[in-house]
Amino acid sequence: MKNKLKTDPIAAQIREARSTQQMSRQQLADKCGIPKYRISMVENDVGKVPVSILRLIIEKGLGGRFQLTFEF
């Protein structure tokens, strides 16, 4: 039995939004003005991705609203 890696919910939401909009990774990257590998990194939850890149992908690329909330 293979172990499945748990996908980050943010990565999954971005991947799903891109897919729903029938956009390729390259099209999303072009729309955001960033390299395609950045989109791949985000969607595959690989490495550290700056919040600024997430915001760019969500707002400019996918037409969403980016919001962070902290509670202590």
- pLDDT over 70 (residue 1): no
Q: How many domains does the chain have?
A: 1
Which pLDDT does position 19 carry in this prediction? 97
Percent of the chain at pLDDT > 90 equals 79
Examine residue 70 and state whether it is found in any structural domain, yes or no: no
In CATH, what number is assigned to the domain containing residue 45?
1.10.260.40
d(CA 54, CA 58): 6
**The two structure tokens encoding residue 34:** 């960033």
Q: In this structure, is residue 22 part of a structural domain?
A: yes
Exposed / middle / buried, residue 57 (Cβ in 10 Å: 0-12, 13-18, 19+): buried
Is residue 27 in some structural domain? yes
Task: Domain of residue 38: give its range.
Answer: 9-61
Within 13 Å and on the Cβ side, how many CA atoms surround 53?
Answer: 18
Flag whether 72 is in a domain: no
For residues 45-70, average pLDDT? 94
- Judge whether 66 lies within some domain: no
Whether the Cβ atoms of residue 57 and residue 11 lie closer than 8 Å to each other: no
